[in-house]
A and B are shown apart, each in its own frame.
Chain A
Amino acid sequence: MLAAWLVALAGTASILAIATSGAAPSHPLAAQDGAPVRVPPAAGRADPADPGAAAAAVAPRGPPAASAANAAASRAALGGDATLARILQGIPYRITSISPWTDASGGSVLGTAVDIRLDSPLTATTELPGVRFDPDGVTYRQLRIPVHVTAATSFTLLVDVGTKRVVSAMPPDATLSPTPDTHGLYRAPGDAHGS
């Protein structure tokens, strides 16, 4: 009778071990540890499994799309924005993405972030619109930044859906260089916020 109980106990333990082997971390975890992460690779051994693989498989791989209404409003704003038209000097472009732009809390939609690609490179001395956020991360001030742009083929735009305007238009930094007037825009001491 005892032998039968021992066999049953061993069998149950084996079944439990097999059933949980895929989920169990390969190293001891304490109760407060949180989600187990992959241990480093070891020379001469196969890579350990990543305990987060299942969560990774269902995670987002890119920005969410803006709402249909905000996307439509943004397209309309781009089409009618005199500042953007002046900057692009008639160069055709296509929109590559439109995603939500919120305040720093993530809770209030300010507008959209729009990425565009130009059909031909833009080289110009111009003024670009930019935004400088206040410390609350919710409100911002507008800047006009004098720059030389050299061979820019893409821009990231911020469209304020409240004012229906392009409030920021920035090509990659590598295409920008200052003009003598750019330096007047430096922040006053104590007005900067790093990240």
Chain B
Amino acid sequence: MRIKLRHLYLVAAVCALAAGVALLPANVIGSSTTNLRTLGFGYGDSIYNYDFENQAVDARHVDWAMSLLFYNNANINKIKSILEGSYWIYGSKENANLNDSGSWEWDQDGGMKTDTPSCLGSDAHYRVYAPSASDRFYNPSFGYYVFGTTHHDHHELCDASYDDSEGTEHDIANRMSARGYYTRYDYAWFYNAQFDTQGNHRFNNDGYATYIEVP
């Protein structure tokens, strides 16, 4: 009985936390970049190399640089399932614009974070994107594949700031490699190297994306 009660408390706590996070509105502050461009993956597949605050392609309202690519047999849920032991709480949603063999569309993801928002704490946060109908791209060169952005959240409930896309990219590379997934850190140039501080948004992205094979 005591164990059942503990389970109930746990479920209630998780629900309350999820409801609280859901109340956090999407960021309306946007950051800007001079690097915004499309990347081609062959066979008509392409993406913009940043995600966006809103569903509009606008270099003055980007969020983070694309820095991850999971390939071979990846899909959104599989990536989140692999990483859920460390990245377990939902984040606020952002938007990616992508072209799956001929038509541009939007995908939206809140991604997953390593901790709940707090006044002094920080968490690593990634988002992954793919055509929303299938939750994955496909072409013969990459197999089934998805993209991701990375960053750190700091002090979200007090003096919120955001940075360190490289640190979270590295963390995910390490975690995937430790689980046996073939990982090539900083493998491909994604044309989005950016180092500047805009408002509470500090870019330090080296422009290279990490590729991780997911069988």
Contact = CB atoms under 8 A, between A and B. Distances in A.
A, B bound:
yes
Interface of A: 25-30, 32-41, 50-53, 55-56, 59-64, 99-107, 113, 130-133, 135-138, 140, 143, 145, 147, 158, 168, 170, 173, 176-178, 182-183, 185-187, 189-190, 192-195
Given A33-B44, A34-B37, A194-B91, A143 B196 contact: no
B198 interface: yes
Contacts of B206: 61
B3 to A, nearest CB: 32
Nearest to B31: A104
Given A133-B200, A135-B29, A56 B189 contact: yes
Nearest to A129: B159
A194 B154 contact: no
B148 interface: no
B119 A183 contact: yes
A102 B158 contact: no
Interface string B73-108: 000000000000000000110000001001000000
SS of A interface (majority):
loop
A104 B160 CA distance: 13
B196 A102 contact: yes
B47 to A, nearest CB: 8
A40 B141 contact: yes
Given A52-B188, A100-B197, A28 B151 contact: no
B26 A194 contact: yes
Top 3 A-B pairs, shortest CB-CB distance: A33-B40, A34-B38, A52-B189
Most buried by B among A63, A100, A131, A194: A194
B126 interface: no
15 contacts: A38-B189, A50-B188, A51-B189, A53-B189, A61-B206, A63-B196, A100-B196, A104-B201, A106-B31, A137-B30, A168-B159, A176-B120, A192-B24, A193-B24, A194-B153
Nearest to B143: A40
Interface stretch (B8-16, B172-180, B207-215): B207-215
B158 A35 contact: no
B203 to A, nearest CB: 9
B158 A40 contact: no
B31 A192 contact: no
A28 B189 contact: no
Contacts of A140: 199-200
Most buried by A among B29, B153, B206, B209: B29
Nearest to B46: A33
Given A33-B45, A38-B188, A192-B24, A27 B141 contact: yes
Given A39-B141, A59-B193, 15 more contacts: A27-B141, A28-B43, A34-B40, A35-B37, A37-B190, A53-B189, A104-B31, A104-B198, A105-B30, A138-B199, A173-B120, A173-B155, A193-B29, A194-B24, A194-B91
Contacts of A35: 37-40, 191
